[in-house]
């Protein structure tokens, strides 16, 4: 009788393991913000890669900046938008910010471009003070809304920092860039957008 009971126990364990594997394989692969990776190299996301991609409609959102200004993506329709996701402790994010600021100051108005650099505040190690110190030390003048709950980065399926979405005037995503950009790359990407 012990062999029979042991057989049932083993069968139950095998079936239970199979159920767990099936459940895990059918759940969303989204990662929590504390699992975000830093992208040292630049990659243009290909069709079929994880997250939103080329041709998709950019999801609307509204977030506040540290001074209380509300940024709503849909209000920027008609402009080309560089939507960047970053954190102050991310080395590649630090590397690309001077390039973004220089582009913003020198070319964004003529190119009909708005930069919206969403800070992943929920992943910040030094909190809001660290974000404000970063903005001040880099002299950033473009809008920086705060994703305090991680809802917008989740909506955009951001798994690496920095991640940038190049959004066309009609609200569709032209490119998804994972990793830091320099000013030349920004200009080339903007020039290729409608």
Domain match, 12 and 92 both? no
Domain with 167 in it: 33-191
Domain match, 56 and 17 both? no
Domain match, 154 and 82 both? yes
Q: What is the pTM assigned to this prediction?
A: 0.76
Burial of 109 from C-beta contacts in 10 A (0-12 / 13-18 / 19+) = exposed
Q: Please state the φ and ψ torsions of residue 57, each to the nearest 5 degrees.
A: -75, 130
Domain match, 104 and 116 both? yes
Which stretches does DSSP call E strand in the chain?
A: 37-38, 43-44, 62-64, 70-72, 80-86, 113-119, 160-161, 163-167, 173-178
Tally of domains in the chain: 2
Q: CATH number of the domain at 60, please.
A: 3.40.30.10
- Per-residue model confidence as pLDDT tens for the chain (194 residues): 566 656 565 655 545 444 333 434 333 333 344 445 555 544 444 444 446 889 999 999 999 999 999 999 999 999 999 999 999 999 999 999 999 999 999 999 999 999 999 999 989 989 999 999 999 999 999 999 999 999 999 999 999 999 999 999 999 999 999 999 999 999 999 999 98
How far from chain centre, in Å, is Cα 148?
Answer: 13
């Amino acid at each position: 009788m012990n062999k029979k009971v042991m057989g049932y126990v083993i069968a139950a364990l095998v079936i239970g393991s199979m159920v767990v594997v099936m459940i895990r394989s059918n759940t969303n692969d989204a990662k929590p913000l504390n699992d975000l990776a830093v992208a040292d190299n630049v990659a243009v996301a290909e069709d079929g890669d994880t997250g939103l991609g080329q041709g998709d409609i950019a999801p609307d959102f509204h977030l506040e900046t540290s001074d209380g200004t509300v940024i709503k993506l849909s209000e920027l329709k008609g402009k080309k938008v560089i939507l960047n996701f970053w954190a102050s402790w991310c080395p590649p994010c630090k590397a690309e910010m001077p390039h973004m600021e220089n582009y913003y100051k020198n070319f964004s108005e003529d190119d009909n471009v708005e930069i919206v650099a969403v800070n992943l505040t929920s992943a910040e190690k030094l909190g809001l003070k660290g974000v404000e110190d970063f903005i001040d030390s880099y002299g950033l003048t473009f809008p920086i809304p705060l994703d305090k709950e991680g809802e917008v980065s989740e909506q955009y399926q951001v798994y690496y920092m920095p991640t940038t979405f190049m959004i066309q005037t009609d609200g569709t995503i032209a490119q998804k860039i994972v990793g830091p950009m320099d000013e030349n790359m920004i200009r080339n990407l903007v020039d290729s957008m409608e």
